[in-house]
Structure 1
Amino acid sequence: MLDVRRLRLLRDLARLGTIAAVAQARAYTPSAVSQQLAALQREAGVPLLEHTGRSVRLTPAATALVHHTEAVLAALEAASATLAAARTGLSGTVRIGAFPSAVPTLLPAALVALGRDHPALDLMVTELDPVDVPDALRDGRLDVALWHDYDVAPVESDPGVDSVRLLDEKVFLAVPAEGWPDRTVAGTREAAWIVGTPGTLCHTVAMRVCQAAGFTARVRHHADDFTAVLALVAAGQGVALVPELAAAHPPADVRLVPLDVHRRTRIAYRRGAAGHPVIAACVAALESSTSAYLVSPPSA
């Protein structure tokens, strides 16, 4: 019988590439990871790893086993969901992830509703960039998350994650109100840009939008909070891209130009967990809070 914990390590190795990275992600020593993978290889009865110098790579059999592992883990999630549905009431810790602009807009009403309807739930919120969501869900650091991508920078589907569509938003070009007669992306060729931290999705999107307009952005400032981004634009420090959720109340000295770019938000959770009553309650609360926000966003 194959050990599920060892199968998780093999899946991690396929995703992360090195034993050292797996050890860091799981808080193990590299030696412990190697020993567990060696034990899995004995259980499998076929070679799973090939050593090339100081690195390892998966054999074709190991790659096939990783695909089966995703199905096994999804089945375990579904089994847990079935058992949870048989219990009375919802309780326990729920770890919710959200990107920064969703925390003050979509999330508060959902948290209030969940706390009111299911007081035995212990709700914990973590703010994080969308690029970190799949790993956090797979590793159990999150149970449910608001996860987004952009049409100009689509995120590849993850075999360990399922999701439901929540919201599509316009993206705006934010420019100072004065001195910008050409309010197009092409017209910012010589402008300074305010973009997210390298490695974040917002940074990638800004770079791609500028590249599509035929130039490379001249980055002056890095900022990940859209309130700070808009304040910098208002101060004449550059131009930026801002999604609709973050653009409800721009400073008076900022003009927002709608672009043919959209941000797409989904509610994500581990594959197989859709039927878990806690996940279903979170999805319903987030859908309701988003609908209410869109109908009547808070005034400035």
Structure 2
Amino acid sequence: MLDVRRLRLLRDLARLGTIAAVAQAHTYSPSAVSQQLAALQREAGVPLLERTGRGVTLTPAGTALVRHAETVLAALEAATATLAAARSGLHGTVRIGAFPTAVRTLLPAALVALGREHPALDLMVTELDPVHMPDALRERRLDVALLHDYDLAPVTPDPTVESEPLLDETVFLALPADHPVDGDPIATVEHRAWIAGTPGTLCHTVALRTCQAAGYQPRVRHHADDFTAVLALVAAGQGVALVPQLGAVHAPPGVRLVPLPSRRRTRLAYRRGSGGHPAVSACVTAVRTATAAYLASAAGPGA
């Protein structure tokens, strides 16, 4: 019988590429990971790994086993969800991950509703950039995540994660109110300074790609990840920026918001197989209800 914990290590080796990275993800030592993978290889009875220089790669049998491991792990999540549904009442810890604008606008009402309807749930929120959320779900640091991508920077679906659409937002070009816009808005700000997210974040990538699609490389003067700060910098004449609908609801005076064809798409995500877990389902329902209520009451652009 193959050990599930060892299958998870093999799956993560296929994803991360090195034993050292797997050890770091699981807070093990590299030697402990190597020992567990060697034990899995003995259980399998065929070579799963082969040495390549100072590292290891998966054999064809190892790659095939990883595909089965994904199915096994998803089935275990589904089994856990079934057992949880058989118990009366919801209790335990639910870890929710979200990007900053969702934490500020959508989650508060959802948390209030969950606390009122399921007081035995221990709700924990972590603010996280969407690029890190699939790893956090896979490593069980999160149970539910609000993640997003942009049409200019689509994210490849992760086979270990299931998701469902939540929100499709307009993206605005935020610029000083006195800046003229004639024709393509992005082309008109080619010579202005830009305010973009921290390098490595999805928002930073989208700003670069938006300008590159217009034929130029932006001159990024400031980096800021909070859209309230971004809009304050725009109002102070420090540059222009891309701001999605949730971040643009309360734009300060002196800022002009020009809608662009680009869209930001938010999804609710959870580990594959865990969607039937009552706590996950309750979180999804609460976030959906809070999102609908927020958009209905918002007075900003695109409401």
The TM tier, using the shorter chain, reads over 0.9
Partner-residue secondary structure (3-state), 1:124: strand
Question: CA separation in 2, counterparts of 1:2 and 1:205?
Answer: 43
Q: Residue 130 of structure 2 aligns with which residue?
A: 130
SS in 1 for 2:204: helix
* Aligned counterpart, 1:294: 295
**Residue in 2 aligned with 1:120?**
120
- 2:174 is matched with 174
Where do residues 242-253 of structure 1 align in structure 2 (5 Å cutoff)? 242-253=243-254
Other structure's SS at 2:185 match:
coil
**Aligned with 2:273: secondary structure?**
coil
**Unmatched segments (≥5 aa) in structure 1:** none
After superposition, the C-alpha distances for 1:79-137 in whole angstroms (9 at most, x for unaligned) are 00000000000000110001000011111110000000000000000000000110000
TM-score by length of structure 2 reads: 0.97
> What are the within-5 Å matches in structure 2 for residues 188-227 of structure 1?
188-227=189-228
Unpaired segments ≥5 residues, structure 2:
none
Alignment identity in percent? 76
C-alpha deviation, 1:39, in angstroms: 0.8
**Counterpart residue number, 1:262:** 263
**Which residue type is aligned with residue 7 of structure 1?**
L
CA distance in structure 1 between the aligned counterparts of 2:92 and 2:36, rounded to whole angstroms:
31
Aligned to 2:104: 104
How far apart in 1 are the matches of 2:221 and 2:9? 41
TM-superposed CA distance for 1:298, in Å, is 6.9
Secondary structure at the residue paired with 1:103? helix
CA distance in 1, matches of 2:71, 2:299: 43
Report the count of equivalent residues.
299
1:179 Cα deviation from its structure 2 partner: 3.5
Structure 1 residues 141-160: aligned runs within 5 Å: 141-160=141-160
* Corresponding position of 1:5: 5
Report the alpha carbon displacement of residue 60 of structure 1 after superposing the two structures with TM. Answer: 1.2
Q: Take 1:221 and 1:48, find their aligned partners in 2: how far apart are those partners? A: 48
- For 2:286 and 2:160, the matched residues in 1 are separated by 23
Superposed CA offset, 1:210-256 (max 9, x none) = 11111111111111111111111111111100000000111111100
What SS does structure 2 have at the residue aligned with 1:228? helix
User: How far apart, in 2, do the equivalents of 1:84 and 1:25 lie?
Assistant: 27
SS at match of 2:31: helix
Deviations 1:61-91 (A, max 9, x none): 1111111111000000000000000000000
Cα displacement (A) at 1:180: 3.8
Provide the C-alpha distance between the structure 1 equivalents of 2:79 and 2:163, rounded to a whole number of angstroms: 18
Displaced runs of 4 or more, over 3 A: 179-183
